[in-house]
Amino acid sequence: MQETLSAPLQDVQEDDRSLEFLQTMLRIRSFEERVYRMYLEQQTYGMSPHLSSGEEAMATGVCSVLRKDDYLLGTHRSHGHILAKGAQMRPMLAELCGKVTGYCRGRGGTMHIADFSLGIVGANGIVGGGIPIASGVGLSIKYRGTDQVCVCFFGDAASNIGAFHEAVNFASAFKLPVVFVCENNVYGLSTDYSRVSATPNVADRAKGYGIPGVIVDGMDVFAVYEAAKAAVDHARTGKGPTILEGKTYRYYGHSSSDQRPYRTKEEEEQWRSRDPILSFKKKLVEAGKLTDEQFNKLEADAMAEAEDAVQFALSSPEPDPVTLLDYIYC
Ligand SMILES: Cc1ncc(C[n+]2csc(CCOP(=O)(O)OP(=O)(O)O)c2C)c(N)n1
Ligand SMILES: [Mg+2]
């Protein structure tokens, strides 16, 4: 199945990455829709999954410009980031189910998936916890003299923690190769960003650190790709960090158990009408680069891949209780 999924469709030029973007967004959407069903059926363990449906263009556009040896720091809402950086659905879902075949052998769950071989340093349950780690990774890159880049995703609410200031200031002062990517999805839990923040945009703060601050339509995968490419090139060529802010929206509640009483159906519908997958599909169809049949095949492939991962996770063994204390000390 992997071969079919990664094979380019016949009539698309080699340098056109449109279908790859569509495929990545569909894979993220399918994975999370399936995770939500598993959560409702009580097949996942630990924290309820925090889904990014609606935000797929951010993970896809940003990670599409990263190399395998570049680094990624995530958040509590990182399934999309991790998939876009190259992770496989099978060990991801097994991790969510607490199975020994999971990325962290079932110890990490939804919020703590890491795979150093893919540069995925880790997702993080501490809001903003990845931001100072990213500056540390940037310092390590500079110290080792490589041309790698570290990308750190965080939410709008995370930009209001103290460590954000320290980490961005430090990265700027030492010109570290870090891109700080804010997924501004309007809310931190039930709190509207504008109610608790001194500036209307997170990227406005870049001025205070003497670095570029870029705002992009986070529902437009191509716009995100272009902005991320510029920010990553800037970092890779020794010019230092950027704050890249995408305006986006999560369709589900904060976590799978949140019924979203703090926002209106009209607001949700307005954002859904700009769905990153459907609007990108429309553009491609209008440009003659995609047919409905091709789209349906990509969607069916993504759903089949997610279903295959579910079966893999459910049929995998639990960790042996005698290994409970393994991996705690090294
Ligand atoms: C340090 C810390 N404070 C509070 C929490 C509880 N908490 C979890 S997610 C969240 C909101 C995060 O909002 P944002 O950064 O905008 O990310 P989003 O959930 O919107 O993706 C809060 C307050 C936490 N996990 N860690
Ligand atoms: Mg938010």
Atom of ligand 1 minimally distant from the CA of 125: 25
Structure tokens at 210: 């003497």
* Ligand 1 binding pocket mutation candidate from 189, 196, 249, 263 (most atoms within 8 A of CB): 189
Our measurement of the distance from residue 88's CA atom to the centroid of its chain's CA atoms, rounded to an integer in Å, reads 14
CA of residue 259 to ligand 2 center, whole Å: 16
Which run of H or of E encompasses 245?
strand 242-247
Cα angle: 312, vertex 316, 320; to 5 degrees: 160
Q: Which residue has its alpha carbon closest to ligand 1 atom 19?
A: 188
CA of residue 77 to ligand 2 center, whole Å: 10
Structure tokens at 3: 């071969």
pLDDT of 13-45, one tens digit each? 446 899 999 999 999 999 999 999 999 999 998
Kindly report which listed range (13-22, 32-41, 164-173, 259-268) carries the lowest average pLDDT score.
13-22
Most confident of 41-45, 194-198, 254-258: 194-198
CA of residue 176 to ligand 2 center, whole Å: 25
For ligand 1, whether the C-beta of 47 sits within 6 Å is no
Structure tokens at 76: 């509590």
Alpha carbon distance 35, 96 (integer Å): 9
Question: pLDDT tier at 276 (50, 70, 90 boundaries)?
Answer: very high
CA of residue 188 to ligand 1 center, whole Å: 6
CA of residue 190 to ligand 2 center, whole Å: 9
Residue 2 pLDDT more than 60? Answer: no
pLDDT of 87-141, one tens digit each? 999 999 999 999 999 999 999 999 999 999 999 999 999 999 999 999 999 999 9
Quote the pTM value: 0.95
Question: pLDDT tier at 6 (50, 70, 90 boundaries)?
Answer: very low
CA of residue 60 to ligand 1 center, whole Å: 22
For ligand 1, whether the C-beta of 126 sits within 6 Å is yes
Q: Which ligand is in closest contact with the Cα of 159?
A: 1
Alpha carbon distance 19, 8 (integer Å): 8
75 CB-side CA count, 13 A: 26
The answer to whether 51 and 77 have CB atoms below 8 angstroms apart is yes
Gyration radius from the chain CA atoms: 19
Which run of H or of E encompasses 78?
none
Q: Which amino acid is at 315?
A: S
For ligand 1, whether the C-beta of 125 sits within 6 Å is yes
